[in-house]
Amino acid sequence: MHRPQIYVNLPVEDLDRSVRFFTALGFAFDPRFTNENATAMIIGEDSFVMLLVRPFFQTFTAKPLGAPAHVGAIIALSQPDRASVDAIVAKARAAGGTVPTAPVDHGFMYQHAFEDPDGQLWEVMHMDMAAFTAA
C-alpha cells in the first residue's frame, strides 16, 4: 500500500542562511535534492520541507509571492514532550529566528512558535491525547 509523503514548499531569500538556521535546530537535508535553488529539509520519514529561493519558487505559480511580513501558512511541528517544544524554540531564537508569542498551555496541548529568518511561522507543539477531552 502506498503511504503518502508530504512536501511543504517554502520560499526563502537566502538558501545558505536558511540551511544554517534549520541545521542549528537539528534538521538534516537530503543532498540528492539540493542545489543552488533548493534543498529538501527532512522532517520525518515521510515529511519534508522544500526550501526554494524566491525566484525558483515563483516558477511554480503565476500568483505573486506574499511579502515576508504576511502570513500565508502556519507550519505545525509536533514534539514528543513540552521540554522539546521549548528547546526547539530556544534554538530558533539563538539561531536568529524570532519568537512572536509566549507559550500557550491548553492542558492537553502545549504550543509555542517561532519565525524563521524569512518570516515563516512555525508552531511547535506537544499534544497529550490521554489528557484530551472533547468539548
CATH number of 1-60: 3.10.180.10
Instruction: Check the CA dihedral 50-55-56-62 and report its sign.
Output: positive
Enter the DSSP assignment of 90: H
Give the pLDDT confidence of 58-95 residue by residue, as tens digits.
999 999 887 767 777 899 999 999 999 999 999 999 99
Give the pLDDT confidence of 38-56 residue by residue, as tens digits.
999 999 999 999 999 999 9
How much is the pTM?
A: 0.89
For the segment 107-121, the average pLDDT, to the nearest whole number, is 94
Enter the DSSP assignment of 77: E
Instruction: Calculate Rg over the CA atoms of the chain.
Output: 16
Out of 3.80.10.10, 3.10.180.10, 3.90.226.10, 3.20.80.10, select the CATH number for domain 71-135.
Answer: 3.10.180.10
Cβ partners under 8 Å of residue 44, min gap 6 = none
Domain locations in the chain as residue ranges: 1-60, 71-135
**Residues 78 and 27: beta-carbon distance below 8 Å:** no
**Residues 41 and 47: beta-carbon distance below 8 Å:** no
- Cell matching residue 7: 512536501
* pLDDT at residue 134, rounded to an integer: 63
* CA within 13 Å, CB half, 83: 0
